[in-house]
Amino acid sequence: MDTKEELTLINIKGGAVMESFDVRMAEVLENLADPNAGNAKREITLKVAFAPDKNNPQIINISASCKSNLAPDKDISTVAVLSSNALFELTTPMEQQSILPDNVRPIVLGESTEGGVV
């Protein structure tokens, strides 16, 4: 007769549940290290459900899912002035500056920038 190992969280489906948790943990750690991510709480939810079989109550169907809830990226915002076909980004806070050529750098519409295309 086969010797069966008692079922634990570690050995469900040959360790697949723990592997799924490890994958989500890596996502959380990467998100925590991301300087663009906000300061929101990160979570990992592990759900394991046990349902007796309708025809044989000694048979238990087990399902598991593991999900991560990560912090979204921080909002990126700026202030710009529109002049004909170009935007000029203000490089210092609005209260501390007047709109002078040496205080702005042009962002041409359709040009690629760090945050994407304008």
- Asked whether the beta carbons of 105 and 89 are under 8 A apart, the reply is yes
DSSP state of 76: -
Q: Which residue has the tokens 């948790």?
A: 21
What is the residue extent of each domain of the chain? 12-69, 80-117
Q: What is the pTM of this model?
A: 0.64
pLDDT in tens, 104-115: 555 555 555 565
pLDDT at 31: 95
The type of residue at 67 is: K
Q: How far is CA 23 from CA 58, 59, 79, 80, in A?
A: 32, 29, 39, 41
Q: How far apart are CA 87 and CA 105, in angstroms?
A: 9
DSSP state of 1: -
Which runs of E-coded beta strand occur in 53-85? 60-69, 80-83
pLDDT in tens, 21-75: 999 999 999 999 999 998 999 999 999 999 999 999 999 999 999 999 999 988 8
